[in-house]
Structure 1
Amino acid sequence: MRPQTARVVAVVALLACGIAGCAPARSSGPADRRGAAALTDAAVDLAVQAEPFRRQQSLLRWAEEELTHRCMVDRGFPQPYGPTAHGRDDTAWRPDLDARRIRGYGFTEAAPTADDQYPAGLPVTQRARYARALTGDRDHRASLRLSSGPEFTFSASGCLAEGRAGLYGDVMAAAKVSYVPQEAHNAIYGRIAQDPVMARALARWASCMKRRGHPYPSMEAARAAARHGPGGTDDARADRQFEVRTAVADAECALAADVPGAAESAGRRHAVGLTSEQRRDLNSATDLRAAALVRARELEEEQR
């Protein structure tokens, strides 16, 4: 996992994930000739990030942050944390329109919050103890290697680890829930982008954008233009307004053109192309997510 930071919310966001649901697993097809199980329907949903992916992902993230917060309070550090940040699950093909209206594409960093400022406000003598409470012993770490090769190392002690273990069962399960579905999604992403269904949806998106005064040939071009501003001005406020207008138009046109539906439809066709190891690991990660969602909902009920 990426290096730990002082901010609990930012760190635990790395394990923010969607849940595919708790229904009994059903196979989406027969096993391949090497004997590997086919993907369950829930695993396919997770690979293509089918809704309610975003809502479930937000719930899991909140639950992990809550458990981490409780652990830190027990250790004498009542660090505040607020609602999950807007836009964390905003993607090009599945835009979060509410987030776009607030933060555009997110090129400008948000102002520091109370939880950002908490560690720096501690007495110098307590900061090392705070860091150790949060991230644990540097020599007590675990690692996960994906079937495609990448290896991730992460804390196995401290409140971050305890929060993850409290939700997912242990830190290894938490890591699998974080990285395995993303590995699967990355594996089919290029095929989705080249799929004829997706190409037609993106053509509708481009036509919509042109009608709205944003004649960009691609989503990447729209983002690049928004990053550089309208040109001819050094006005940061005007640049920011241009970014938000472009980002909102992009999102609204993506939804009007049903880009999310096209991505999901294409993704379901291409998910069968995952390797046997990826299918096995994704099925397992899907079950771990489903169990964690049950625990997250129980935690949510406790808070009411």
Structure 2
Amino acid sequence: MRPIGRHTAVGAVIALLVTGAAGCAQARPAASGRAPATAELSDAALDLAVRAGPYREEQLSLQQAEYELTRRCMDERGFDYPTWEGGTTGIDDSWQPDLENRRSHGYGFAGPAASPENQYPSGLSATERKAYARALSGDPGKQAVLRLSSGPEFTFGTTGCIAESRIGLYGDAVDAARVFYVPQEARNALNGPIGSSPAMRAATRAWKSCMKDRGQPYGSMAEARADAHRAHEAADADTARRTEVRIAMADGACALAADMPEVADRVGREQAGGLTSRQRTDLNRAAELRAAALERAQDIAGDRP
């Protein structure tokens, strides 16, 4: 991980911003049965559920805006913070692969190891590090909880610069978590119907044929990922990484060749009516909040020096 001057590496901070949005998950049994279809999904909510069109570009815009607000907040508190150097969102679905991300990181099995030394600007004393962490993450005793209709709940901070950046972008810390998690809940619910559909089964057969032609005759995407993961147990780090990237790139290229993104989009939209009424209502709300946040993100981008 390359340091940025005296500051924390941008990649590590982005990871904190993305995963911290949301905090800790406490899994509960998923709700069973389906409610009557009473909430019709908006077009924006459907787009969000299937991650359609410019989804990744929009996510990058939101991440960049959140990052910029966090940087300004830390600056006001007297702390240096790294500047944004671009990158990808790190969103890489099996059916909607991000080849740019895979070319650099494979499936992401061998991410950079976290180090206490790269979490702070250099030269801070122990007392100053405490103050820096407090400014960034806030009071650990001040948290909120978001409970999804399918069971899981997430806790996250409501103070500190990370939380303040989300409040500035989404209007409320809970709404920020809602925009992050509700679409995931919907997509997770749709994955089963998408994967078992005749269209995706046909696309999977095309994927397997493509992989065989590339000299990687895996029976499924799960097998390909498992083999890439095993490489890290059987080879040195550089060899394992090259193996992982090679498999991940072939996997992604064959997914695109088999039209899996189009199939996932089309079938996901067809099956979205099977989401529970509460899930559809929550997804509509998340789409509205996200659209407003994207407008704010444009304003923030225009204000950057």
Report TM bin, short chain.
0.7 to 0.9
**Aligned pairs (5 A) from 1:1-304:** 8-14=13-19, 36-86=38-88, 88-110=90-112, 116-118=118-120, 121-229=123-231, 234-303=235-304
Distance 1:186 1:115 in 2: 36
d(CA) in 2 for partners of 1:8, 1:214: 36
Mark the CA change 1:248 to 1:265 in structure 2 (over 3 Å): closer, same or farther.
same
Output the amino acid matched with 1:149: G
Contact 1:87/1:100 (8 A) holds in 2: no
Please tell me the root mean square deviation across aligned C-alpha atoms, in Å: 2.6
> In the superposition, relative to structure 1, how do residues 243 and 276 fare at CA in structure 2: closer, same or farther (>3 Å)?
same
Q: How many residues of Structure 1 are paired with residues of Structure 2 in the alignment?
A: 283
Inter-partner Cα distance in structure 2 for 1:230 and 1:209: 21
Amino acid at match of 1:80: P
Secondary structure of 2:95 counterpart = coil
Cα contact 1:15–1:174 (8 A) shared by 2? no
Q: State whether residues 170 and 289 of structure 2, in contact with CA within 8 Å, keep that contact through their aligned partners in structure 1.
A: yes
Instruction: Tell me how far apart the structure 2 counterparts of residues 111 and 248 of structure 1 sit (CA, whole Å).
Output: 23
Shift of 1:81: 4.2
Tell me by how many angstroms 1:170 deviates.
1.1
Query: Is contact 1:81-1:115 (8 Å) kept?
Result: no
Residue 46 (structure 1) shift = 0.5
Q: Distance in 1 between matches of 2:72 and 2:58?
A: 21
Q: Please give the per-residue CA displacement for 1:167-220, whole angstroms capped at 9, x wherever unaligned.
A: 001101101101111111111111111111111111111100000000001111
- Structure 2: distance between partners of 1:223 and 1:34: 38
Instruction: Indicate if the aligned counterparts of 1:71 and 1:159 stay in contact, CA closer than 8 A.
Output: yes
SS in 1 for 2:120: helix
Does structure 2 retain, via aligned residues, the 8 Å contact 1:145–1:152? yes
- Report the TM-score, using the length of structure 2 for normalisation: 0.85
- 1:138/1:62 Cα in 2 relative to 1: closer, same or farther (>3 Å)? same
302 and 191 in structure 1: CA distance in 2 versus 1, 3 angstrom threshold: same
Q: Structure 1 segments of 4 or more deviating over 6 A?
A: 111-115
Structure 1 pair 234–187 and aligned structure 2 pair: CA distance change class (3 A): closer
Deviation of 1:85 (Å): 4.5
Q: Which SS does the other structure have where 1:143 is aligned?
A: strand
More divergent stretch after superposition (143-152 vs 212-221): 143-152
Query: CA separation in 2, counterparts of 1:229 and 1:246?
Result: 11
Preserved contact between residue 67 and residue 84 of structure 2 (Cα < 8 Å):
no
The higher-RCO structure (CA 8 Å, 6+ apart) is 2
Write the distance in 2 (CA, Å) between the matches of 1:259 and 1:226. Answer: 21
Identity %: 52
Distance 1:84 1:91, change over 3 A: farther
Contiguous gaps of at least 5 residues in structure 2: 1-11, 23-33
Asked if the contact 1:15–1:177 (Cα under 8 Å) also holds between the matched residues in 2, the reply is: no
Q: TM-score, normalised by structure 1?
A: 0.86
Shift of 1:151: 1.5
> CA separation in 1, counterparts of 2:35 and 2:238?
59
Report the Cα distance in structure 1 between the residues aligned to 2:232 and 2:196, rounded to whole angstroms.
30
Residues 128, 15 of structure 1: alpha-carbon distance in 2 compared, 3 angstrom cutoff: closer
Alpha-carbon distance, 1:39 to partner: 0.5
How far apart, in 2, do the equivalents of 1:193 and 1:254 lie?
13
